Amino acid sequence: MDSTYIDPYIGLADTYIMGSLVWGVFNEWEAWKNAWGLLHMARKLDSLNEQIEAQL
Protein backbone atom coordinates (compact mmCIF):
# COMPACT_ATOMS: atom_id res chain seq x y z
CA MET A 1 0.00 0.00 0.00
CA ASP A 2 1.06 3.55 -0.64
CA SER A 3 1.73 4.90 2.84
CA THR A 4 0.44 8.38 1.93
CA TYR A 5 -2.89 7.34 0.37
CA ILE A 6 -5.62 6.82 2.97
CA ASP A 7 -8.32 5.10 0.89
CA PRO A 8 -6.75 1.61 1.13
CA TYR A 9 -6.55 1.94 4.92
CA ILE A 10 -10.22 2.91 5.11
CA GLY A 11 -11.23 0.17 2.66
CA LEU A 12 -9.37 -2.53 4.53
CA ALA A 13 -10.85 -1.34 7.82
CA ASP A 14 -14.33 -1.56 6.22
CA THR A 15 -13.57 -5.11 5.13
CA TYR A 16 -12.65 -6.12 8.68
CA ILE A 17 -15.75 -4.46 10.14
CA MET A 18 -18.16 -5.90 7.57
CA GLY A 19 -16.42 -9.27 7.67
CA SER A 20 -16.99 -9.59 11.38
CA LEU A 21 -20.35 -7.91 11.95
CA VAL A 22 -22.22 -8.86 8.79
CA TRP A 23 -20.59 -11.92 7.27
CA GLY A 24 -19.10 -13.48 10.40
CA VAL A 25 -15.81 -14.41 8.73
CA PHE A 26 -13.60 -12.67 11.28
CA ASN A 27 -13.61 -12.77 15.04
CA GLU A 28 -15.35 -9.54 16.06
CA TRP A 29 -12.75 -8.50 18.63
CA GLU A 30 -9.76 -9.16 16.34
CA ALA A 31 -11.46 -7.45 13.41
CA TRP A 32 -12.16 -4.31 15.44
CA LYS A 33 -8.55 -4.18 16.69
CA ASN A 34 -7.28 -4.44 13.11
CA ALA A 35 -9.77 -1.87 11.79
CA TRP A 36 -9.01 0.52 14.66
CA GLY A 37 -5.29 0.35 13.91
CA LEU A 38 -5.83 0.97 10.19
CA LEU A 39 -8.18 3.89 10.84
CA HIS A 40 -5.70 5.48 13.21
CA MET A 41 -2.94 5.17 10.61
CA ALA A 42 -5.24 6.87 8.10
CA ARG A 43 -6.07 9.56 10.66
CA LYS A 44 -2.36 10.35 11.05
CA LEU A 45 -2.23 11.04 7.32
CA ASP A 46 -5.45 13.07 7.18
CA SER A 47 -6.78 14.18 10.55
CA LEU A 48 -9.69 16.11 9.00
CA ASN A 49 -11.20 13.26 6.98
CA GLU A 50 -14.86 12.86 7.97
CA GLN A 51 -15.09 9.25 6.80
CA ILE A 52 -12.40 8.19 9.27
CA GLU A 53 -14.06 10.04 12.12
CA ALA A 54 -17.44 8.47 11.33
CA GLN A 55 -16.00 4.96 11.56
CA LEU A 56 -14.08 5.59 14.75
Collapse the DSSP code of 25 into the 3-class scheme (helix H, G, I; strand E, B; otherwise coil) and give the result: coil
Does 27 reside within a domain?
yes
> Based on the structure, what is the number of domains in the chain?
1
Question: For residue 45, what are the domain limits?
Answer: 7-55
Q: pLDDT by residue for the chain (56 residues), tens digit each? A: 677 899 999 999 999 999 999 999 999 999 999 999 999 999 999 999 999 999 98
pTM: 0.86
In a domain, 50, yes or no: yes
Answer whether residue 42 is part of any domain.
yes
Q: What is the pLDDT of residues 32-41, one digit of tens each?
A: 999 999 999 9
Q: Are 31 and 20 in contact (CB under 8 A)?
A: yes
In a domain, residue 2? The reply is: no
Residue 39 is predicted with a pLDDT of 97
For residue 46, what pLDDT is reported? 94
The whole-number pLDDT of residue 2 equals 73
CB 52 within 8 A of CB 39: yes
**What count of Cα atoms within 13 Å lies in the side-chain half-sphere of residue 6?**
16
